[in-house]
Each structure stands twice: as structure tokens, then as C-alpha cells.
Amino acid sequence: MSEFAHQRAELVAQLRRRGIVDERVLSAMATVPREQFVPDALQHEAYKDAALPVTEGQTISQPFIVALMTQLLSLEGGETVLEIGTGTGYQTAVLSLLCRFVVSIERLSGLAAEAKNRLSQLGYGNVELHTGDGTLGWKPAAPYDRVLVTAGAPEVPAPLYNQLRLGGRLVIPVGDEQSQVLEVIVKGQHGPEVIDAGGCRFVKLIGDAGWEPV
């Protein structure tokens, strides 16, 4: 086993000990090479359970948070998922192994271009990436079975809820700039049901239905 593969297996064991129980999520994370998604100078830290800085002041999320958010989506394999905040594409790769199709949107064109190359080179084919303001969603492929937002929002962007199918789930960090609560929102016949899944800290969701650009 290569050194990275060994470290990856250790990380997955750690995620299990920390309470991740969805076996599909654990096996997806056991295959995605996180070292390929972090800057070269940080490859030796790729399998620490920590967020790491990437380019343009953004981050690659902490593996535990990726696992938790993915688990909260309750994916079974046939879903179409909309992800907001492609970043490095790591979360996109994990999702792509667990559902039918992923549409992912990133607002920073440099990061979006890098993620696109990386995901195609690594062979993640069932993904479609776009550059733009993800708070507006992506109408051409709506409605979605699941929506995942990987940046912190001041409130739930209405277009994302609207583009969710009935019975679908939206997972999103909502709060102020310092800390957020991970919310799971299920779209029901009589409106949204909101479940609070604990605290987290993400970079800002910037856009029309998010934070103002600085």
C-alpha cells in the first residue's frame, strides 16, 4: 500500500470512530485521493482531519465535515445533486461516487478551472461544473434531489430551496461570519422541516442571496 493510501485508510478509521456511520460515505472517502486536491506544499498534511488553505483565500473543508455533510444528504445512488462552492472539487468527487449526477458551481473562475481539470484527470465523469453565483442555483438541471452548500450563508437562499424537489434535502451552514449551524432542510408538502446538525465554520457564501462581496 502506498503511503497516501495508508494515511487515507487511517483517516477513514478515524471518521468511523468520530461517529460517521454511512458505509457508502466511508468507502467513497476511502478512495478519493485528497492529496491530489491540496496544494503541493501541503500534501504531507492531506490526511490530517483539518481544513487546509488553498488558493484565493479559500479552503478545502475538514474531512470530518465533508463526511458529516455527505452523510446528512442520505444519498442512495440515484440522485441528482446540486453543490454550491466547488472549491478544490474534493467534496464534488466524494458526491460523484454516491449519486447519479452532480452539478457544482464555483464563483471564482481560477478555482473552478483547476477543479475541472483535476476532476476530469482523475476520471470523475458524472459531474458538470459551472462558474457563477451559486446562490441563484442552476435552473437548467432543476429540480434537484439534494442540494449541498459548502460555504457559510447568512440565510437559506430562496432559489436553492425552490430548485429542490418535493421530499428533497438541502444541507447548508447558516449563521454569521464567525460560526454557523449546519442545517438540514427537508422540503415537505406543508413547507420546510429544519433539523439542526451542529456547529461548523465555513468561508463566506458570497452572492445575490448570500453575503455582499467585500
Q: Measured from the CB of residue 111, what is the shortest distance to ligand SAH in angstroms?
A: 5
Q: How many CB atoms lie within 10 A of CB 182?
A: 22
120 tagged catalytic: no
Subset of 50-79 contacting ligand SAH (CB under 6 A):
58-61
CA 94 from chain center: how many Å? Answer: 8
Stretch that binds ligand SAH, among 26-34, 128-136, 171-179, 184-192 (CB under 6 A): 128-136
Residue 53 or 167 having the CB closest to ligand SAH? 53
With H, G, I as helix, E, B as strand and everything else as coil, classify residue 181.
strand
Regarding 35 and contact with ligand SAH (CB under 6 A), the answer is no
Cα–Cα distance measured from residue 85 to residue 73, given in angstroms and rounded to the nearest whole number: 16
**Near ligand SAH in 169-198, by CB under 6 A:** none
Q: Which of 106, 114, 145, 183: binder of ligand SAH (CB under 6 A)? A: 106
* Cα-based distances in Å from 181 to 146, 153, 194: 18, 10, 11
Beta strand 180-188 with 191-200: parallel, antiparallel or unpaired? Answer: antiparallel
CA dist., res. 120 & res. 124, Å (int): 6
Of 91, 96, 163, 180, the residue at the interface with ligand SAH (CB under 6 A) is 91
Of 7, 70, 135, 180, the one binding ligand SAH (CB under 6 A) is: 135
Cell of residue 148, nine digits: 449541498
Q: Choosing from 61, 96, 120, 179, which is the catalytic residue?
A: 61
Which uninterrupted H or E stretch holds 131?
A: strand 127-131
Binders in 139-158 for ligand SAH, by CB under 6 A: 150-151
Binding segment for ligand SAH among 6-14, 74-82, 83-91, 184-192 (CB under 6 A)?
83-91
Cβ-in-10-Å burial (0-12, 13-18, 19+) of 109 comes to exposed
Residues that bind ligand SAH (CB under 6 A): 58-61, 84-85, 87-88, 90-91, 105-108, 111, 133-135, 150-151, 203, 205-207, 210
